[in-house]
Structures are given as structure tokens and as C-alpha cells.
Amino acid sequence: MLTSYLSTAIRVSKKQKLHTLLNVIGFSIGIAAAIIVALFAQSQLIVDKHQPDANHVYRVHLDLRSVGVGVRGAIDPRMPQLMQKHSQIKDLLIISRIESLQYSGEPMADIVKVKDQRFKFKKAYVATPNLAEFVNISVLHGDLTQALSQPNLIALSQTESKRLFGDTDVIGRQLEYDGGSYEVAAVFADLEANTHFDFDVLMYLPKLQRGPFSSHVYLKLQPEADPNALAQEMTREMQKRAKNPNFKDIQFQFIPLTQLHFHTNGTVEMKQGGSYLALQVSVVLSTLLVIIASANFINFNIASAAKRAKEVGIRKALGASKSQLVTQFLSESLLTVLFSGFLGVVIVELALPHFNQLIAQPLTLVYNSLFMLGLVITLTVVGLFSGLYPALFISSFGAKKVLSGDFSRGRSSARIRKITLCLQGAIGVGLIAAISMLYQQMMLVKQLDVGYEKAQRIIIRELPSELIYQQQGNALLDELGQISGVAGWTLSDTNYATAINGGMHYTWPNGETYDGMLAVINTGYDVIDVLGLKLITGRGFSRDYTGDWYREQQNGETHVAILITKKMAHLAGYEKLDEVIGVTVTVPRRKLTAKVVGVVEDIRIGSVNNAVQPTSLMLGHVDGETANVVLKIAEGIDPDNVITEIEQVLAAHLNRRDIEVQSLYDEFLAAHKNELYTLTMLSIFSPLAIFLTLLGTFGLASFTTLRKEKELAIRKVLGASRIGLISLVAKEYLWLSALSMVLAVPLTYWLVGEWLNRFNERINQSIWIYGVAGLLVILLTWLTVVLVTYKVASRRPSSALRYE
């Protein structure tokens, strides 16, 4: 019996080549695209699920939105430590960047020497010895717990060990630094890509002497624990102990480890995380592609039913049961779907390398995985359900009705075709409108005036602060400034495109204070010119005013000049900006006196999703051990051509070749990678979904035209024009396209509006875009129908009526 079904399916496929070809091409392309998008979604969902007891681990975050900072994942660990003995807490892990220890009693060196070569550690952290209880980490050599239990011991990743020593068997080797040395006590395998943990160097976490210093704090809770109740209890304890009244609105949050990937964006994170939006878009796109491909499949099968009317009638006349006919057509449907799925997998293998380059992620198709099992199950279900209605529809007619020709006049089949076409058209309209406005929003993001210039700027990261923050004579900076194409330089401790490093609370002469975060950028001379800031009033930092530079007196008092943004001036109560020039502000806790010398336009630090914060720029002062140099590149000079020479100068002065040099514009784009991922997926797969919709329209228009071939021939004999015949066939499809537009606009408008609400600066939705999208779908549908109908309408009537 199965052999008979198979041979019949092959015979029918050969007889109906166009129908089979459209079915296979449409479904294989659709399923291939759905697989790729589903792979991306899976890569986002499985992050950190392989960690020990992942379902019971939470990271402690601090909600600082009440003071204008946001929710931070790097916190003062002392409060969680105080509650470590709580009955609901099973274990606690602290992990922190070594740069965070600069204010503690035991700062650690991160620049080491191997033989005559100097290196800066990459991704260096200190952690508590129980790290392996929270992180799935494979130790290749040595003892990781020992390395994290004693000072001056160190653990290296496989990659870092090879970078420093050229080998991984390096237990006992020494890394020298100014004033001491580290001994390698362990080497561990590089961490997997599907985790938010990202470190190459691990060291002992010293006891907190003074601080606080920011850390990532993880809690492993008891299975019966209530994380929300515990977070509230920790918040109440913090508010009870806090002396600052502004802490009353600050709250702790516990983020599950399995969801942390979507909450790890910002400079304090080990690795930049993903986006719920990108995940939602990928899931929706994957589902839509499968729906469109399945809808095409159903329509093609129903359309081909008329061509097999006599076959069905004869089979019934010869005694074939309804179940046998259903099995026959379901077998054909399943065979076509599985074959299309196989071709889809081939397409995926060919397309994945190019897609991976676009999203900068290593997606792979693993055949002995649950994903592939799910794919096979999905294909089987789609094949059965896609063929179920056509099978029931075909087998439901009696032999007499089928053989009499009444088969082709079934209203239910026409109704299904209209519904699926309308659904596909609505999807097409929605996708065209959505991607148009998403593109406009991302163009706004790229072109948004953030208060500083991103183009033609290069940032050199993490140079020693004591080396570059010098008021007079600096050979390194002088040589950088002499490089051909460099038009100026300044200093900075801030990564403008990502986040602020810190702030100060000024006290103004008029008594005004501000409880929220006042961002401070520690900078150098010529900052206005180099960064392209817009000076409103006053002056900038110039070497002609040597007294502007940060200076500390013997009694501990410090003096400095500052620039402030317009927003800070207004918050301080100065509506007329000229009045703030020359005003002296103080920070009593630091014994700091600062003189305002100029006002600049507001600066947007970090993502455009962040609100503009009141900001000041301070000359010559830096808190951290490292800082950055920003270079302005002359117009007409490609910044990439200057970077090589910059690296040579840095190597000559610092004996290092691992210093990060990057375009400020690239850094800005990296801060919006999740939005760009979303735009990339929509740009690729939305046109593909529209193509599949048109493919379905083409197939059904072919069927409709062939079914009406004799009618068209008779109309042509009676004097109907070619255009009139084409309009007769196209009219039905145009009405369905117009209806699909009506259905698509409200839902798309709401969904796009929800996405745009994530941005502080956003475009307004334009109704005309929806109109253009609808007209485009209508035009494409009309052209598709015309292309199919023109050939039939151009034939001589005798060719269709010769046997009548």
C-alpha cells in the first residue's frame, strides 16, 4: 500500500511540475529562513542554562532609577554579605573587575611583564573561591580553588595563557609587576559562548578594607525560597542602615541567572547581553515564515484538487474508501514537506556562514540535538496539518459529483484560499510598514545629535592615568599629536557611547542641590574642539589658563575648573546661562572647589535609550588607574589608516602591543547592537516573507486563470479586450489585498508604537507609510496576477474551445 502511495505521489509530481516546483521552492525557502531565525532565538534562550543549579541562582541588582542611573548589576557587596547566613540563601559568589579595587585596601596590578614584553591583562577579575559552584568551568592545569584562596596566585584562561606565555602548561610561572609578581596556579579552558560570564584572568578577592567597590553578586537560593520576598527584605535592611535619605527609593532586584542575558548591557558587565526585542522579533518572524509557507502549501494543494477530480472519482467508483484517499493525500503532503525540509537544511548550511557574519554570532546546526528533533517533529506536524484540509476536502465528494465536474465549484475551498491570501497580504503590509519605520528609527539613532562628534574620532583605551594626566610635557601625547592626519587630542575617563563612570554632588552658591546622578567626565585641554562640543557661553579649557588644571594644596583642599551642560545650569537655577560663568561650587566631602568657566550643550552619554543627564567636565583630575586618549582625525583622512601608526607609537613608548584603539563611531554602534540585530533580521527576512506571499499569489493566480480559461476564451469571442480579461481575474485579488491592508494597519501600528516607546528620542509613526505599504502590496499582487493572466488572455480562443 505504501509503495502504491509513493508511486502515485511521484506520478502526480511529474504531471503537475509547476505546482510541485512552487510548493517545494516556497516551503524549502520558508523553512530554511525559519530555521535560521529559530537558531538565533535558541542561542538567546539557552544562555547560562548549563550552569550548576542554574534555576536557583540569582544575581543581585540595584534599582537606581530614582536617582537617574537605572538598574545596575554591579553593586556594593556588603549588604548581600550581611544576609549571607539567611536561611533561604544557600551560597554566595562575588566577582569583581580588578579595576574596582582601586579604592580598596588592596589594589591589584593589571600590567605585567613576561621577559622583556609588557602586557595588560584582558578581562581580569577577582572572585571568591567557590566560583566553580556557580560557573561551569573546566580546569586544564593546577588548582582553581587554591588560586582564588591566596594572594599573588593567579588563574589564566587557555587563550590568555597562550597570549602571555605561548603555552598552557605554565603552572608555577611568574608574571612580574611593579613591586611584586604573580604565580600561575591554574589554567582553565575558555568559557563557552552561551554564557554572560566572561573572564580570562582570575585572582584572589581580598577582604574589603575600605570602599565600597562594585561587584557582581550571585546568590544560590534554597529550592523553596521566594526571591522577590528576599529582595524586599534586603531592601528594607539597606534602608534601615542607610544614612542618606535619597536611598529610600532605591531597591534590590534579584534577576534569575537564566534570564540574565537580557539584563547585561552596559560598561559594568562582563559581556554585552541580548535583547528581548530581538528575541521577540525572531520568534515572530520564524512563526510567520512557517505560517506563510504552510498557507501556500494548503492553497496549492486545494488548487490542484480540481486537476485530480477524475482521479478521485474513478478511485471512489472502484471502491476506494475515504480513509484511503485521506491517507493517500496526507502521504503526498508529508513527502513533499519532508523533502522541502531536507532542501531547507541544505540552504541553511549554505547561508549560515554569511548570516553569522551579519550578527557576529557563531550559530551552528547540530544534527544530533533536540533542536533537530524538534525540527523533524515540526515538519511532520506541518506536513500533516497542511495536508489535512486538502485531503478531507478532496475525499469528501461523492464519485458522481466529482465525475460530473461539480468538484471545482466548492465554496469552502475558495473561502480557505481567500482567507489565507488575505492573511499573507496583511503580513506583507505589516512587515513593509514596520521595517520602514524601524529603519527610520535606526537612522535617527545613528544621526542623533548626542552633543559630541562621533565621526573622525579615535579613542585609545586604558592607558596609565599617571602617564597621560600630566599638565606639562608629555612625550607620548606629543608624538601622537604629530602623527599625520591627527588634528588634536584630549583626555577622558569616560566611554561616551556606553555609560558614565561616576559623578559628584555639587553645592551651589544659591543653595541648590540635586539628589540624582550628576555625571562627571574627567578630561584634558582642548576637549571642546577635539570632541566637537557646542560651547554656548564662557570659554573652554585652554593651556593659556594654567590655573584651570586640578591641583591639591597641602591642607588637602583641591581646586579645579569645570564646564557644565545646559541642563545642569538649569537644574542649579540659572535660566540665564551667562550668570553661571565664574560661579564657584563645592563638594564638601571631597574638600573640592570648582569654578564654572563655560556652558556647553547637553551631552548624551551611552545609548539613546538613556535620558540626558546633567553633566560636568573636569580638567586634569582622574580617579581610576587608567584613562583614555581621544584623537581628532582631520577631514578627508580615513581613521583606519591612522590606527596602525598610533599602535606603533604606543608600542615604542609603553612596550605593549595589546592596547585597544577604536573608532568612537564604531563604539557608538556597538552600544546599539541589539537594535541593529533586530533591523538586520527584519531587513533579511521581511522581504523573504513578502516573496513567499507573492509566490503563493502567483500559484493561485495560475490556478484561477487556468480554471477560467474557457470562460475567458468565450468572453474574448464575444468581444472582451485583453485588458478587460486581465482586470476580471485581478479584481478579486485586489479586493483581498485591500482587505489585508485594513487588517494589518491597527496591529502593526500598536506593535511598532510599543517598540518606539523604548527610546527617549524617537520618530513619529507616519500614516502615509502604511498607505504606501498597502499600495505596494496591491501593486505587487496586481503585477503577479497580470503576469500569469496575460499569457492566457493572449491565446486564440480556439485553443481552449476546440474540444467543446
Q: What is the pLDDT of residues 5-53, one digit of tens each?
A: 556 656 655 565 666 777 788 788 888 888 888 888 888 888 999 999 9
In the chain, the percentage of residues whose pLDDT exceeds 70 is 81
CA distances from 44 to 114, 322, 363, 371, 572 (A): 39, 46, 11, 14, 44
Q: Specify the pLDDT at position 246.
A: 56
- Partner residues linked to 58 by β-bridges: 219, 256
pLDDT at 408 over 60: no
pLDDT at 102 over 90: no
Q: Specify the pLDDT at position 766.
A: 85
Mean of the per-residue pLDDT values of the chain: 80
pLDDT at 185 over 90: yes
**Confidence at 66, pLDDT banded by 50, 70, 90:** low
Q: Which amino acid is at 123?
A: K
- The lowest-confidence range among 97-101, 119-123, 431-435, 494-498 is 494-498
Q: For residues 584 and 594, is the Cβ–Cβ distance under 8 A? A: yes
- Return the C-alpha torsion angle 61, 605, 278, 276, nearest 10: 20
Q: Which of 396, 264, 247, 250 is nearest to 321 (CA)?
A: 396
Q: At what angle do helices 709-717 and 767-794 cross, to 10 degrees?
A: 70
Q: Name residue, grid cell 535619605.
A: 245
Q: What's the alpha-carbon Rg for the chain, to the nearest Å?
A: 34
Average pLDDT estimate for 117-138: 90
CA distance 370 to 377: 10
Q: Give the strand pairing for 57-63 and 71-72.
A: antiparallel
Q: Name residue, grid cell 496591529.
A: 747
For 300-342, the pLDDT digits (tens) are 766 665 566 666 667 666 666 777 777 777 777 788 888 888 9
CA distance 472 to 243: 42
CA distance 474 to 525: 13
- The lowest-confidence range among 208-222, 370-384, 633-647 is 208-222
pLDDT at 105 over 70: no
**Vertex 717, ends 712 and 718: CA angle to 5°?**
95
Q: Specify the pLDDT at position 543.
A: 86
Classify the C-alpha dihedral 203-209-213-216 as positive or negative: positive
Q: Which of 600, 623, 497 is nearest to 539 (CA)?
A: 600
For 380-390, the pLDDT digits (tens) are 887 787 677 66
- Partner residues linked to 215 by β-bridges: 75
CA distance 320 to 301: 20
- The lowest-confidence range among 99-108, 290-299, 597-606 is 99-108
Q: For residues 155 and 144, is the Cβ–Cβ distance under 8 A? A: yes
Q: Specify the pLDDT at position 752.
A: 84
CA distance 468 to 626: 9
The H helix count followed by the E strand count for the chain is 23, 24
Q: Specify the pLDDT at position 210.
A: 43
516 vs 135, more confident: 135
3-state secondary structure of 493: coil
In the chain, the percentage of residues whose pLDDT exceeds 90 is 18
Please provide residue 503's backbone torsions phi and psi, each rounded to the nearest 5 degrees.
-160, 175
Q: The C-alpha cell of 100 is what?
A: 574596582
**Vertex 538, ends 536 and 543: CA angle to 5°?**
120
Q: Specify the pLDDT at position 209.
A: 46
Q: Is 485 left (phi over 0), alpha (psi -120 to 50) or beta?
A: left
Q: Specify the pLDDT at position 700.
A: 67
pLDDT at 457 over 50: yes
**Confidence at 128, pLDDT banded by 50, 70, 90:** very high
Please provide residue 754's backbone torsions phi and psi, each rounded to the nearest 5 degrees.
-60, -40
CA distance 41 to 30: 16
CA distance 124 to 130: 17
Classify the C-alpha dihedral 310-315-321-324 as positive or negative: negative
Q: Give the strand pairing for 201-204 and 124-127.
A: parallel
Q: Specify the pLDDT at position 211.
A: 47
Q: Which of 339, 332, 335, 296 is nearest to 311 (CA)?
A: 332
CA distance 552 to 304: 88
CA distance 427 to 729: 23
pLDDT at 592 over 80: yes
CA distance 418 to 415: 5
Q: Name residue, grid cell 509566490.
A: 695
Q: The C-alpha cell of 474 is what?
A: 608629555
pLDDT at 122 over 70: yes
Please provide residue 496's backbone torsions phi and psi, each rounded to the nearest 5 degrees.
-60, -35
Q: For residues 241 and 46, is the Cβ–Cβ distance under 8 A? A: no
Q: Name residue, grid cell 465554496.
A: 411
Q: Which of 89, 74, 87 is nearest to 125 (CA)?
A: 74
